[in-house]
Amino acid sequence: MSDDGFDHSFKAIHDHEAEWEDDDVRGLLTLPKGVKVKILNHDPVMGRIDMKQRFPAGYVEPAHFHDSYHSILVTKGRMCVAGKDLLPGDYVFGWDKMHGPYEYPDGCEVFIVYMGDTSHKWEKEQHLKHELEWKAETDEGKKGVEDHVQQRKEGVT
């Protein structure tokens, strides 16, 4: 361990060496159910987590803020936020100012770096009333959007 307590070790990791985990069990994000996470590198002293996140087709991530800040790169699918249909290679930064909601009509995978507490602060009632702005382009997406609309109608988060 170094004097500053940070993990200075070099890492080179194949995608298959890290497992996808259900964040409803892992509990890092405190978001509506259904998000998967793959932790690539975690330095608890620095408070940094590098990971992938996978959002199922039709998932809506509520408007939120958090104490941590995050840098995100879309790697698969679509992330629809702030009037933009973001595709692989596109980027997002968020911190303690309200941001979102995000729609993932066709599902999405991102690489994300969080600095600090990864829990999200959002309003359940507002999330359940969310009006969709974006349409799915794939059959899987259309089904996913229908399922998530139904879940919100039933009050499921």
Interface residues with Fe ion (CB under 5 A)? 94
Q: Which residue is nearest to Fe ion (CB)?
A: 94
Task: Report in angstroms how near the CB of residue 29 gets to Fe ion at its nearest.
Answer: 9
Task: Report in angstroms how near the CB of residue 93 gets to Fe ion at its nearest.
Answer: 9
Q: Which of 75, 72, 77, 76 is nearest to 100 (CA)?
A: 72
Cβ atoms of residues 105 and 57 within 8 Å: yes
Q: Which of 51, 26, 4, 28 is nearest to 119 (CA)?
A: 28
Which residue type, as a one-letter code, is found at position 54? Answer: R
141 phi and psi, to 5 degrees?
Answer: -65, -45
Nearer residue to Fe ion within complex by CB, 84 or 135: 84
Task: Report in angstroms how near the CB of residue 48 gets to Fe ion at its nearest.
Answer: 15
Nearer residue to Fe ion within complex by CB, 56 or 94: 94
